[in-house]
């Protein structure tokens, strides 16, 4: 799901061979692996995540591809690296989940060399991602408020100016915020629901649903996404803010 976005981040970063890069909240490693392809063999990549399970998948996937990446379990709000260690810091779809985004940005600033680049992406507010409005509203009707809130949680309310200020106040300059739009495709609305459930904390509440409730939920999502349904399944736009800045 995040591969096209990782491509865009790498493209916007101005990354070059020999750069030292960090991927904060690397998850299963899509950004770190793309970065490695550009900076290797003279540069280096480190990937940091709080979640050990994510790092296990990251390690296995990158070694299958032959990339040498340093994996580090750690917290984005307290990065375990010395000042000025990296030329470029990436952070894809993480800032909205940390308890203190300002501290996290300050940490990313600290570990960059002077004039080093920051490249961050977060989803635009949920109203710019209408299929997720549909999903959240449907979950609210069939499952409950708490599960609907989980579905809305990846979409921060930050507008462009708020995000720009947050990054500037952390110590960055030359801050540019752009809107990225990609299309997401699934073979069916049911598969959209299944993959959302399988790849997020929704797994537990959705896994616990009675079959009849789950079927009603899928029917509702199908109906609401009819306008995005074609002969190949379901396709809809997703919008993110992409921030590039210098230390």
Ligand X SMILES: C[S@@+](CC[C@H](N)C(=O)[O-])C[C@H]1O[C@@H](n2cnc3c(N)ncnc32)[C@H](O)[C@@H]1O
Find how far residue 30's CA is from the centre of its chain: 10
Residue 95 binding ligand X, by CB under 6 A:
no
When the beta carbons of 39 and 48 are compared against ligand X, the nearer one is 48
Window of 44-52, 143-151, 170-178, 213-221 that interacts with ligand X by CB under 6 A: 44-52
- Answer whether 209's CB lies under 8 Å from 241's CB: no
Give the other-Cβ count within 10 Å of 246's Cβ: 15
190 near ligand X, judged by CB under 6 A: no
Give yes or no for a contact between 36 and 62, defined as CB atoms under 8 angstroms apart.
yes
Residue with smaller CB distance to ligand X, 22 or 30: 30
- Is residue 98 at the binding interface for ligand X, with CB under 6 A as the rule? yes
# binding residues, ligand X (CB under 6 A): 19
C-alpha 221/C-alpha 193 separation (Å) is: 8
51, 106, 153, 229: which one contacts ligand X (CB under 6 A)?
51
- Minimum distance between the CB of residue 27 and ligand X, rounded to whole angstroms? 3
- Minimum CB–partner distance for residue 222 and ligand X (Å): 26
Minimum CB distance to ligand X, residue 96 (Å): 9
Spatial separation of the C-alpha atoms in residues 158 and 165, rounded to whole Å: 10
Minimum CB distance to ligand X, residue 220 (Å):
25
> Residue 79 interacts with ligand X (CB under 6 A)?
no
Backbone angles phi, psi at 220, to 5 degrees: -65, -45
Q: Is 81 in the site for ligand X (CB under 6 A)?
A: no
Asked if 30 is part of the footprint of ligand X (rule: CB under 6 A), the reply reads yes
105 binds ligand X (CB under 6 A): no
Q: Exposed, middle or buried by CB within 10 Å (0-12, 13-18, 19+), for 55?
A: buried
Burial of residue 194, with CB atoms counted within 10 A of its CB: 0-12 exposed, 13-18 middle, 19 or more buried: middle
Residue from the set 97, 140, 171, 216 that interacts with ligand X by CB under 6 A:
97
Q: Shortest distance, CB of residue 201 to ligand X, whole angstroms?
A: 11
- Contact (CB, 8 A) for 239 and 179: yes
User: Which residues, 6 or more positions from 130, have their beta carbon under 8 angstroms from its beta carbon?
Assistant: 236, 237
Cα separation, 77 vs 126, in Å, equals 25
- Nearer of residues 108 and 225 to ligand X, judged by Cβ: 108
Binding mask 52-71 for ligand X (x = CB under 6 A): --x-----------------
Binding positions for ligand X, rule: CB under 6 A: 2, 25-28, 30-31, 49-51, 54, 75-77, 92-94, 97-98
């Amino acid at each position: 799901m995040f591969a096209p976005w990782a491509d865009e981040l790498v493209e916007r970063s101005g990354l070059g061979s020999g750069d030292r890069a960090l991927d904060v909240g690397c998850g299963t490693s899509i950004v770190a692996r793309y970065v490695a392809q550009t900076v290797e063999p003279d540069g280096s990549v480190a990937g940091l995540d709080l979640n050990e399970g994510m790092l296990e998948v990251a390690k296995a996937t990158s070694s299958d591809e032959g990339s040498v990446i340093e994996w580090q379990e750690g917290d984005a709000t307290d990065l375990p690296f010395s000042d000025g260690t990296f030329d470029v810091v990436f952070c894809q779809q993480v800032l909205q989940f940390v308890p203190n985004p300002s501290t996290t940005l300050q940490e990313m600033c600290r570990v960059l060399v002077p004039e080093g680049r920051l490249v961050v992406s977060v989803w635009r507010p949920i109203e710019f991602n209408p299929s997720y409005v549909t999903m959240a509203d449907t979950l609210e009707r069939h499952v409950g408020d708490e599960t609907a809130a989980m579905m809305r949680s990846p979409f921060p309310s930050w507008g462009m100016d708020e995000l720009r200020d947050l990054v500037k106040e952390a110590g960055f300059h030359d801050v540019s915020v752009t809107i990225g739009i990609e299309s997401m495709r699934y073979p069916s609305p049911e598969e959209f629901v299944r993959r959302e459930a399988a790849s997020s904390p929704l797994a537990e509440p959705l896994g616990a649903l009675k079959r009849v409730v789950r079927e009603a939920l899928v029917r509702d999502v199908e109906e609401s996404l009819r306008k995005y349904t074609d002969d190949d399944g379901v396709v809809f736009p997703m919008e993110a803010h992409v921030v590039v800045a210098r230390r």
